[in-house]
Structure 1
Amino acid sequence: MKKVMLKTTLSLAVTLASSQLFASGFAINEQSISGMGTGFAGRSSSADDASTVYGNPAGMSRLKQEQVSVGAATIVAKTDISDTRSTFGGKEDGDMVPVTTVPMGYYVKPIDEHWAFGLGFYVPYGLITDYGSDFAGRYFANKSKVSVMTFQPTVSYAFNDKVSIGFGPTINRIDGELTSQTLTTSSLGRNDGKVKINGDDTAIGFNAGILIQATDRTRVGMTYHSKVAYHLDGDTKVSGGTFALAGLSGQSYDAKLDLTTPESVDFSVTHQLNDDWTLYVGSTWTRWSRLKDITVENSGVSPRLGGTLNTITEEQNWHDTWAHAIGASYQLNKQWVLRTGLSVDQSPTNNTNRSPRIPTGDRTAISFGAGWTPVDNVTVDLAYSYLWEEEVRVNDVNASKGAYSSKYKNSASGFGTSVTYRF
């Protein structure tokens, strides 16, 4: 029972660490709707609106009017699960990702010809999955809900009309909830116990960028998103099944874990081909190789579960990843601009460690968008993206949980809209 609880607590750490990956796999990078339309190909070099606070803080120097942008992206995900094998039976249950809407908001104010100030609120990481209590892999994953909300005050400085830089600290609040079933040995596969885990923390990071007007028609940008080190405090609550038989149902134990989400570097080029066409290309490198292993500590554990302090380490062995994108926009007339983009994104997981909580593979996404400016100081941006992943297999075997294996094929549609108002 000690092993069951510790393994489940460890799953919380894995879920938290993989939340950005999961968002990349099932969803869209929902920080900018104008950027979403081009598949984020020019994220570091476009600076089309106030969402550049996230994309490249140096881009605020290109915005000559005070402005605010607010928006949201809605994600509709689909998973096909097949060829399932489970020691204790259960449903394949591919409909485990609920429809999710993610908000965003930005504000930029030019101060003088050199300085600009901005604020940003966005969700860089997010994960919601709910398989249900009768899922075939319920002892490895049941329900996961993790989100990171970020607030970013930002400044930029333009040295001249060619080069600018930007910097902003990020205040990041992470919250996680995870539940999973535990096996009752006296009634295998029935009368399961339940473990529910909550954890949270607030940590500081930063974003920094540089933007260069290389020629009259070409801009080059680079943005660095720092690593963020979290020290999560939470609790593990147990109920039902073997816990009830041991008289421990309803008990709560302290859980701690240290977790660092990786840094990333985004590089992109924006080239205005002529008065109508603009081309974009970009690449993002993410240092997922930081996640070699995760160590979790539980304290205050009842002696009937094996001790007062337990530590466990699990290997992950993730690798660094690259994402690449190309895109284009067409200025149809004064009121309308049309956008499109294509992107590919690697998965950092490997076939040995992949779990039903993060059953993702390499992905491809196609995007379409439009910007409508009915009056000079208002722009409405719309975007749609569709992504699909390669088919992957999950193979999990554990002495206290049995065996579970399935094939996963993931896809998702993203719908986004935002409004920018210029003062």
Structure 2
Amino acid sequence: MKQKHLTLLVAVALAAASTSALASGYRFGSQSVSAQGSAEANGAEAADASTIFANPAGLSRLDGKQIMGGVTVLAPHSSFQDAGSTRFTRTPTGGPASQDDYAPSAVAAPSLYYSQKIDSQWTAGLGVFVPYGTKLNYDSNWTGRYSLTDIKLEAVNFNPSVAFKLNEQHAFGFGIDIEFMKARLGQGVDIPGTIAAAQATGTGAVLARQIAALGGNPAALATAGDAHAAVKGKDWGYGFNIGYMFSPDQNTRFGIAYRSPIQHELKGGATWDFSGVSRDPVVNAVLQGAARRANSAAQVDIRTPETLSLNAFRQFNDKWAGMADVTWTRNSRMDNIDIVFVGTAEGNEVIRQQWKNTVRVALGANYKLNDQVTLRGGIAHDEAPVRSAELRHAALPDADRLQLSFGANWKLTPASSLDLAYSYLDFKDAPGNYTNNCNPTATTCTGNGETVRGTWKTHMQLLGLAYNYKF
């Protein structure tokens, strides 16, 4: 039973999360406070330097030098109700049947954008933002602990960009994505189930004799608890994004933007803690040796899915403007994943991911209240990449969601302004029935063999604040 393969599952899935704004999967939330106010429908608006993320061609519309710094706070509320999770022996895993505090009360991420007009045709800029992230802390003894106990992902993307304005109708943009990611996760190791299986096949007596020969107490096997595994990994990845913007007149714009896949080679190490299995260190050492768990390095190569966005903007009059965005994400690159341990003879872990492609549709509007205040609003529907309950893992209990957003821009001076945004996201109930197809008794593959059955329910709120300055 080699749990390190399973622990790297989440690191792989995290790296493959979409980097599009508010995309389903392991997305953080919002990469632009001004865009958040319209539910990210404003890809063709190009009103400030955050257009670097949505469509770099929009840089061509910005004058002088502009800087935008913001922070988005995400406050989720999630719950889980167990519906019969089992070990690989098909006996109940035990532990609390419900979870309601595994998501953090609040998580914040900053964003920074800068643009500078070079001449009448060229504009350059730099964006720094958080493309995705997650943080979950289930109880260490919850019913799905053999799948996951905790996970934390932090990612940052550096996006230098340039735009070329061919004429008043056509503009093009290009950017380079330099992405850093680090992740940590933990999970339980099913020692009680492994002991029960060994005793059922008669090999438990071998363990007992080995423990006794080393001076330990074989009786401790009857009360043995879980071990715990943890893994950390980090990586740099590189990609690009391009955009095109067409303006048939001064009040109308259409845009198309593409973000490439990013190749990641995750490297990290796994550590195993058997100290809490029993009070007898001899028993713990024998069980760790029998499970063949030793600290080691691991590696997995993945390619993140690309995104393609189509958007439109129309200034109807001096008060009202409307906008829309459709973003397609090629999540289907995430099929089964093979995790390899370099320099070992351990079998690969095959993770049944099999994500589907998704579409996000957003509609938004601006209303100019007066010369100082512009109000924003938007609504969006976003599909989840998870195909079914049988493929819904505890690290990503994702579901289709509906987003409602409100925002405002308040001009403080002719050169400075504040952006405010609030969003509410309501997720569909997410039933799970995920089974690891490899169990601890297998010799050619790795896995805990657990089944996590239950339903996740989630809603979340986002609050954003940004400061803009032109000089």
Which aligned pairs between 1:106-145 and structure 2 lie closer than 5 A?
A: 106-145=113-152
**Cα distance per residue 1:44-92 (max 9 Å; x no partner):** x011111111111111110112110000100000113225323222222
Cα 1:25/1:291, change in 2 over 3 Å: closer
Determine which structure has the larger strand proportion and give its number. Answer: 1
The one-letter code of the counterpart of 1:222 is: I
Partner of 1:230: 264
Instruction: Give the structure 1 partner of residue 325 of structure 2.
Output: 282
Q: Secondary structure at the match of 1:124?
A: coil
Residue 350 of structure 2 is aligned to residue 313 of structure 1 = yes
Gaps of 5+ in 2: 86-91, 196-220, 278-282, 440-447
> 1:15: Cα distance to partner?
4.0
1:175 is aligned to 182
CA distance in 1, matches of 2:309, 2:19: 15
| C-alpha distance in 2 between matches for 1:294 and 1:125 | 20
Aligned residue identity for 1:200? K
Deviation at 1:319, TM superposition (A): 1.1
Equivalent positions of 1:97-108 (< 5 A) are 97-98=103-104, 99-108=106-115
Q: Which amino acid aligns with 2:67?
A: V
Could you tell me which residue of structure 2 aligns to residue 94 of structure 1?
Answer: 100
Give the CA deviation at 1:239: 1.1
Counterpart position of 1:65: 64
Query: Does 2:357 align with 1:333?
Result: no
Give the secondary structure class of the aligned counterpart of 2:7: helix
Q: Contact conserved, 2:26 with 2:133, CA < 8 A, in 1?
A: no
Which amino acid counterpart does residue 181 of structure 1 have in structure 2? Answer: G
CA distance in 2, matches of 1:23, 1:97: 19
Distance 1:375 1:388 in 2: 37
Residue 305 of structure 1 aligns with which residue? Answer: none
For the Cα contact (< 8 Å) 2:42–2:364, is it kept in 1? yes
C-alpha contact 2:366 2:374 (8 A) present in aligned 1? yes
Q: For 2:244, what is the secondary structure of its paired residue? A: strand
Tell me if structure 1 keeps the 8 A contact 2:42–2:323: yes
Q: Using a 3 Å threshold, how does the CA distance of structure 1 residues 368 and 27 change in structure 2: closer, same or farther?
A: farther
> Per-residue deviation at 1:224?
0.6
Distance 1:82 1:20 in 2: 30
TM-score by length of 1: 0.93
State which structure, 1 or 2, has the greater radius of gyration over its C-alpha atoms: 2
SS of residue matched to 1:24:
coil
Structure 1 residue aligned with 2:5: 6
1:253 Cα offset (Å): 0.5
Preserved CA contact (<8 Å) 1:209 1:221: yes
Give TM-score, length-normalised by structure 2.
Answer: 0.84
Identity %: 32
- Quote the residue 1:304 is aligned against: none
For the residue of structure 1 that corresponds to 2:59, the secondary structure is helix
In the TM superposition, structure 1's runs of 4+ consecutive aligned residues that sit over 6 Å from their partners are none
What is the SS of the residue equivalent to 1:348?
coil
Provide the rounded CA distance (Å) in 2 between the counterparts of 1:108 and 1:193. 51
Change (3 A) 1:276 1:104: same
Distance 2:36 2:398 in 1: 21
**For 1:391-406, what aligned pairs fall within 5 Å after superposition?**
391-398=429-436, 399=439, 400-406=448-454
Q: Quick one: structure 1 residues 413 and 188, their matched pair in 2 at CA, closer, same or farther if it must change by over 3 Å? A: farther
Do structure 1's residue 377 and structure 2's residue 377 form an aligned pair? no
Change (3 A) 1:184 1:250: closer
Give the alignment's Cα RMSD to 1 decimal. Answer: 2.2
- Supply the distance in 1 between the matched residues of 2:138 and 2:323 (Cα, whole angstroms): 39
Superposed displacement of residue 293, structure 1: 1.5
C-alpha distance in 2, partners of 1:203/1:379? 34
Q: Which residue of 2 aligns with 1:38?
A: 38
Counterpart check, 1:156 vs 2:163: yes
Q: 3-state DSSP class of the match of 1:38?
A: coil
Greater mean deviation of Cα atoms: 372-381 or 73-82: 73-82
Do the aligned partners of 2:18 and 2:304 also contact (CA within 8 Å) in 1?
A: no
What residue in structure 2 maps to residue 415 of structure 1? 463
Residue 312 of structure 1: CA displacement? Answer: 2.9
